[in-house]
Structure 1
Amino acid sequence: MLLLLGCFLVLMIVGVPVAIAMAVSSVLYIVVFGAAPDIIVAQRMIAGVESFPLLAVPFFILAGNLMNIAGVTGRIYSFAVALVGWMKGGLAQVNIIGSVIFSGMSGTALADAAGIGTIEIKAMKDHGYPTEVAVGVTAASATLGPIFPPSLPFVIYGMMANVSIGALFMAGILPGIVMTLLMMITVAVFAYKYGWGSDTPFAIRKLFSATVEIVVVFAFPFAIYLMTLAGVSLNVAVLVALAALLALDWWFDFEAVMALMTPVILIGGMTLGWFTPTEAAVAAVIWSLFLGLVRYRTMTFRTLAKAGFDTIETTASVLFIVTAASVFAWLLTVSQAAALLSEAFLSITENKWVFLILVNLLVLFVGCFLDTIAAITILVPILLPIVLKLGIDPVHFGLIITLNLMIGLLHPPLGMVLFVLSRVAKLSVERTTMAILPWLVPLFAALLAITFIPELSLWLPRHMGLLK
């Protein structure tokens, strides 16, 4: 155990990428102790990525890239400006609302920060906000990406913990709403303290237009429900509602109705049993292509090729981490390190609330040093047996783990959102870190609420029959 973990930590300290650090540590352990034949190691590597749920990863990444090149991010931003830009601290509120909408398409914090975050930071700076404020609110709102469905970390956690990914997706909705409200309250407090005004004049016409778009989106599933009550088959009802939506969008030229429909289609399709969360990722790609090629006509062959190559690059890095982490986690089990760490936890406490406090502290620390996917792959096999023994619902635990790791993305030394925003805003890492610190307050408040109010995560999936 000392060799495996010690080598891993040393390599991380000297700056070796996390996947290579895990791979080298695993190979060294196997060579020194002869823990397993080469063929077993190869089988474990293949088993780490040979999973149907993992097929969702490249498709959700591709959907996020396609949404960016389809011009959806700009439309979402304009919609958010019309909706909340007239409030005090308007563009900061726009930043949060835009991230909420975009999170229903991308599933990753990095896509949010690098996609719509780039537009938001530039707009806030142009309107006179300090760069630090723009970076701080963008970083905080980017953490919403993996909490609202769809979510790549939920896919990885669901695979590792053998938990319904659909239940995890539904479990993220109410916590995501709580996080959104806490961030918006924080903006209102800062606006009052620093005298921020509105950034766009209050225009009843624009606000009414944005409200109508929201009503149209929510009317879509309600219309389907009414038609099924009237005896229309579900498939016919959906086709009729979709045709009506397309006609309305074409006639009125809505700003963002079709983009807002993305999470409705994904969540509705999974709820109705039309497709699994993995197949929902394919549906997201198809919808993105429809928006870019048919509705908005903003995609070209060159931009499609770029989105494809970006997806290949990102997917390869994610799956490399999963492969290395699966072997590393397996060796932790073989070396009895996982069992020893579990016993160490249980020797401290057998109270589930104390355990959750310790887990929060541990994962917050680990999240500052490990990539999200690697952290989930390593920690879940160690902690899940204790979670089940203490009677903690694994879906609730998945929300806690994911939010902790999202907060870790905002911290040095390895916080990827921190580095992306530092580059986008042309700030030093030190100044970016200080800019993010005040925005950790609403995030920690949300973390405490999610940790100690399990029903916040579990009520919706239970109500929808996804949990007992």
Structure 2
Amino acid sequence: MTTAAIVLLGLFALLMLLGTPLGVALGLAGAAVILMQDLGEMAIPTSLYTGIAKYPLLAIPLFILAGTIFERAGVAARLVRFVSILIGSWRGSLGVVAVLVAMVMGGISGSGPADAAAVATVMLPAMTRAGYPPAFSASIIAAAGATAILIPPSVAFIIYSVLVPQATVPALFAAGLFPGILAGLALILPIVFIARRYGFGGRREDEEKIGVLRAAREAIWGLLAPVIILGGMRAGLFTPTEAAVAAVTYGLLVGLFIHRSLTLRDLGNVFMEAAEMSAVVLLIIGLASIFAWAGSTLGAFDVLAQSIVSLEAPPWMVLILINLLLMGAGMFLDAVSIYLILLPLLMPLVTAYQWDPVWFGVVMTMNLAVGQFTPPLAVNLMVTCAVAGVPIEKTVRWVIWLVLAMLSALVLVAIFPSIALWLPRSLGY
């Protein structure tokens, strides 16, 4: 590896150790090496601009806005009521409801933390009244919210497709559906077992008694959202980016005119919240593009990949090592950051071992989904613990079983790629 490449990676590591924000560390390391190697100072703003001036990235702020609108419109509360009536009242039933509602909401927002926040706000009070310890409830909702980055539309898959052009957004969305459902179903087993083992939940006499038809009528607008978004893409009515516009429009119609839970005055706060979240994501992507351009120009990532391939380890061993790396990174960094840092290194390995980039994207994203609720720095768990008012360390005894459950789903997808690839191939993607 060249001296410049060593400086690039070493400077980035040093800045991270000093506590520099991720985007700043990536941008500074890349800019410093560009200037050192006299690659042209205009490469810095050009890389920053080209990093975010990509059509698929338009969907990110729009899906974030759609998720915020649906959260404020009370869609989650109506879904909880409907699913609760269908599931019934028995030990562990509210945990199952939380998982199912999070999966449906994930089909609207595409963001794990946003999904977890929306479901936690509605579910935590009811679960506490039913006898669930707040730490257990926070663990369930954090894990269930992680399915949002697998079940389409997924913001994580959109970013992956920008960094890996061989994997299109429609193919990734289709590939993530069954693994996302599998991950959600895997969570239900330990939830029900723990609830019955410790006697959590049961009949809820304090719940309002309404009929199934009324509950379905109230929840139908939320249930239709994923159908409209995904069905419209499949029917060719709109692209994934246009689907995000359709989701925002649909959410505004539901919130303003059907549920009437949103007012024009509320929209200012909704737009501001979505804009802040979107700006953070896109700024990190832009700064990371400077780092990625410098690394690719210097050949740093290809050299690292070739050194791993030269070890002549069997592909399954390399895949295990990659998964362990991703799991470790997922415990400390968010999904977007891990994509931006590790994909330049990992994609040469994917090419060398002739792995399907769509399948690899699903496996990688499942790892990052597990990381969203694995302490110590699990972003979903931080959100739900804040809502529940419990320290994150109290969740460890509960969340470890949910981590193992989702890892079992990950192992199945890694061993049997057809779980992810059957649907996109059947649809011709």
Normalising by structure 1, we get a TM-score of: 0.86
Q: Does 1:334 find its partner at 2:297?
A: yes
Distance in 1 of aligned mates of 2:136 and 2:392: 15
Aligned residue among 79, 83, 87 for 1:84: 87
**Which structure 2 residues correspond to residues 177-256 of structure 1 after superposition, within 5 A?**
177-200=181-204, 209=213, 213=216, 254-256=217-219
Partner of 1:265: 228
Contact 1:147–1:175 (CA under 8 A) maintained in structure 2 = yes
Q: Secondary structure at the match of 2:192?
A: helix
Matches within 5 A, 1:399-438: 399-438=362-401
For 2:179, the equivalent position in structure 1 comes to 175
Q: CA deviation at 1:371?
A: 2.7
Residue 51 of structure 2: aligned partner: 48
Q: Which moved more, 1:442-451 or 1:333-342?
A: 333-342
Partners of 2:395 and 2:287 in 1: CA distance: 31
Shift of 1:413: 4.9
Distance 2:407 2:212 in 1: 35
CA shift in 2, pair 1:354/1:35, >3 Å: farther
- For 1:30 and 1:430, locate their aligned partners in 2 and report how far apart those are by CA, in whole Å: 42
Would the alpha carbon gap of residues 131 and 301 (structure 1) be closer, same or farther in structure 2, given more than 3 Å must change? same
Q: Which runs of 5+ in 2 are unaligned?
A: none
Measure how far apart 1:317 and its partner are.
0.1
Q: Which amino acid aligns with 2:23?
A: A
Matches within 5 A, 1:27-426: 27-31=31-35, 33-162=36-165, 163-200=167-204, 209=213, 213=216, 254-349=217-312, 351-426=314-389
State the shift of 1:392 in Å. Answer: 1.2
Kept after mapping to 2: 8 A contact 1:351/1:390: no
Determine if contact 1:85/1:94 at 8 Å carries over to the other structure. no
1:350 shift after superposition: 5.3
CA–CA separation in structure 2 for the residues paired with 1:316 and 1:397: 28
Contact 1:139 1:421 in 2 (8 A): yes
1:438, CA displacement in angstroms? 2.2
Query: Is the CA contact 1:422–1:429 (under 8 Å) kept in the aligned structure 2?
Result: yes
Equivalent position SS for 1:115: helix
Q: CA deviation at 1:131?
A: 1.4
- For the residue of structure 2 that corresponds to 1:87, the secondary structure is coil
Displacement of 1:175 after TM fit?
Answer: 0.8
- 1:309 aligned partner, one-letter code: M
CA contact (8 A) 1:371 1:414 kept: no
Q: CA deviation at 1:395?
A: 0.7
Rounded to whole Å, the distance in 2 between the matches of 1:209 and 1:13 is: 56
Paired residue type of 1:3: V
Superposed displacement of residue 370, structure 1: 2.7
CA distance in 2, matches of 1:456, 1:330: 34
Q: Which amino acid in 1 is paired with 2:428?
A: G
Output the TM-score relative to the length of structure 2: 0.93
Contact (CA 8 Å) 1:18, 1:370: kept in 2 or not? no
Task: Output the CA distance in 2 between the equivalents of 1:436 and 1:259.
Answer: 28
Residue type of the alignment partner of 1:438: W
Q: What is the identity, as a one-letter code, of the residue corresponding to 1:452?
A: I
In the TM superposition, what whole-angstrom CA distance separates every residue of 1:97-121 from its partner, at most 9, and x where no partner exists? 1101111110000101111222222
Q: CA deviation at 1:419?
A: 2.1
Aligned equivalents of 2:306, 2:211: Cα separation in 1: 57
In structure 1, the gaps of 5 or more residues are: 214-253
Partners in 2 of 1:21 and 1:403 — Cα distance? 26
1:177-236 C-alpha deviation (Å, 9 max, x unpaired): 2112211122222133223342447x9x968548x94xxxxxxxxxxxxxxxxxxxxxxx
> Is the CA contact 2:139–2:373 (under 8 Å) kept in the aligned structure 1?
no
Partner of 2:18: 14
Q: How far did residue 391 of structure 1 move? A: 2.1
Change (3 A) 1:369 1:29: farther
Pair 1:457 & 2:406 matched: no
Aligned 8 A contact 2:30 2:292 in 1: no
Residues 368-400 of structure 1: per-residue CA shift (max 9 Å, x gap): 233311211232222223213322111100101
Question: By how many angstroms is 1:425 displaced?
Answer: 1.7
Shift of 1:435: 4.0
Aligned residue pairs: how many? 423
